[in-house]
Chains A and B, each alone.
Chain A
């Protein structure tokens, strides 16, 4: 195999280093850019990958509220907003493990929570169950979209935070459904 001699390697490096990194375009391209921006109208307030997440969050609130409303009517369940978050072992584990989603503790917590969620979901009416499942799908889609965006920009702090927030939303959904369908927990009508 042929290789560059040290002298020629240095010569090649010098020639590459001598290239200017900035090369002015032969004409001013700003008018075309300005026209495109104007034609596109006002810039979206949020980037494309944020929309699914916002949607997921909105749907999550709606679905959980609907589930709790259903429960309130049938089982005298207190709505979520009026339910203090219990400092249970599960809650603490969720919070503690959240920062390490690839870790064993996260996976174990997620499996346990999802199993409990699935069992409790069966207690809900089909319509309510469907809405919550749609919500979970939206959160997971948001997670996939953000992962996709991170592939192109892995250092993005905002994307990483948003990715974390999807895990948190998924956990919150599991925990909320589980907590508020627990027959052992006494409920009071507000």
Chain B
């Protein structure tokens, strides 16, 4: 988890970190690749977490991380300095994952068992939280996407619905279904309502 320790959380209100981030982003916008590498080191953990949980597939997630940062580099001239760089970057990551999902669907179908097995092994030898990871990875795609975006990474239903090309109501329904399935797979009892 070395890279996790390098990630700076800019939501903690630290004005100095905000200033550093702003300076680094402006340098990257001007074409400074070293500044962009700094941004990569700072944010790769969050982007990879997002890609990994959206795709449920390790190798695909790595591809998505690479594509996300390459796409971000190309799009940097359009970045508004008043906006939040992490939020902007995460939107690019989601778009990158979703843009590639059709082509990857078959690959994911054939490898999901392997990846779940990998997650199960990690669960046995690592933290209890990985049980939840395995349960998330086993969710149907639509439910998983909404759970990851809304339930984990703080997207609004409006944003998630736009990214996924579904109605807001559908996004809410997916989240409800995801939580039900997750509870069942984590042996959290449901009761009749």
Residues on A lying within 8 angstroms of B by beta carbon are 1-5, 8-9, 11-12, 15-16, 18-27, 29-30, 32-34, 36-37, 40, 42-47, 49-50, 151-159
Contact = CB atoms under 8 A, between A and B. Distances in A.
B91 interface: yes
A23 B49 contact: yes
Interface string B38-65: 0011001110111010000010011001
A152 B164 CA distance: 10
5 contacts: A23-B52, A24-B4, A24-B48, A46-B77, A47-B78
Interface stretch (B13-21, B100-108, B177-185): B177-185
A15 B58 CA distance: 22
B132 to A, nearest CB: 5
Contacts of B37: 30, 34
A46 B191 CA distance: 56
Given A19-B152, A44-B77, A154-B162, A24 B70 contact: no
Interface of B: 1-4, 7, 31, 33, 36-37, 40-41, 44-46, 48-50, 52, 58, 61-62, 65-66, 69-70, 73-78, 80, 82-83, 88, 91, 95, 129, 132-133, 151-153, 162-163, 179-180, 182-183, 186, 188-193
Given A12-B182, A49-B78, 11 more contacts: A2-B191, A15-B186, A16-B132, A22-B3, A23-B48, A25-B3, A26-B58, A29-B62, A29-B66, A152-B163, A156-B78
A164 to B, nearest CB: 15
Given A33-B69, A43-B77, A157-B83, A3 B191 contact: yes
Contacts of B76: 43
A30 B192 CA distance: 50
B73 A152 contact: no
Contacts of B3: 22, 24-25
Contacts of A34: 33, 37
A8 B192 CA distance: 13
A155 B137 CA distance: 30
B188 A4 contact: yes
B190 A2 contact: yes
Chain B CB within 10 Å, residue with most, of A2, A21, A45: A21
B122 to A, nearest CB: 11
A9 B188 CA distance: 8
A120 to B, nearest CB: 36
A40 B70 contact: yes
A4 B190 contact: yes
A23 B4 contact: yes
A159 to B, nearest CB: 8
